[in-house]
Structure 1
Amino acid sequence: MEEQTVFELIHNMDKFTNGLIIQWNKTFNEDLGVSHVLVLGHLKQNGKSRPSDLAKILGLTPPTLSYLSEKLVAKKLAVRMVDESDRRIIYLGITDKGAEVLKRATLEGERLRRNLFEKLTDEERAELANLFKKLNS
C-alpha cells in the first residue's frame, strides 16, 4: 500500500470535517456555527467566563471570540455581565434560551454522530477516538 503524504492526510481530514459541519448546519437551523455551540457548551459547563479566557481555552483568536459573542448576545443566548468589584472586567454567561439551544444542538450532534459512525464497529470507533486523542496531545 502506498503511504499517504501529510498533505493527503490533512486534505482527507479536512474533507471529512467539512462534510460533517455541512451536514450539521443543514439539520440544525439556528443560524449558528459549531464555534458558537462550543462557546455555549463551555459557559454551560464552567459558568460565566471572561472572553479572553474563553478564546484561550477554545483555541480561538480574541477577535473571533468577539464576533461569536456579539451574535450570541444579539440572539439572547448569552449575556455580558460586569464584575461588581472591578467594572472593567466583563464576563460572558449563558442564558436559559442559550442552554435550550445548546441542548438541541447536542441532541442533533449525537444523532448525526450515530448516523455517521454506524458504519464503524465499536472497536473502530474506540480506535478512532484514541487516535484523535493521541494526535491532539
Structure 2
Amino acid sequence: MNGQPLILIVEQSLHDLELLNSHLGILNFSCICTKQGVRAVILAQTHQPDVILLDIMLSNLGANRVIDDLKHDTKTATIPIIALTPLTVVQDDRFTMLAGFDDCITKPYDFNQLEMVISRHISQLNYLNLS
C-alpha cells in the first residue's frame, strides 16, 4: 500500500483500535484493522502485513488460536506478531515469547515505544529480505 509498511491491528476495544490506527497513520504506516480473531487470520493471509499488533484479550477467537493459525500458515508464519496487553498481565518477556509473540507493547500505550518496536521489526524484515 503506497510503499508504506502495512500494519494489521487486531484490537478488541474500538477506542484503542481507533487510537492505534490514527497514531500509526500519523507515523506513515498503512493500517488494516479488525476486532475479530477470525477476520485477523483472513486479513493476514490476504494482505500479508509487515507487522501484526494483536490484543491478547480477544474474545471471539482467542489470541493463542490466532497465533497458532498464523504461525502454521506458510503465507503468514514469518510475520512478526506483537502482543498488545494490559500492564498487569505481563511481568516479563518470557510470557510473550512462550505464547508465540515476537514482542510486547503494554497498555496504556507509550507511543514512542510503539513506534520503536514496530520500526525495529520492520528493519529486521528489510534486512532479511536483502540477505
Structure with greater strand percent: 2
Computing the radius of gyration from Cα coordinates, the structure with the larger value is: 1
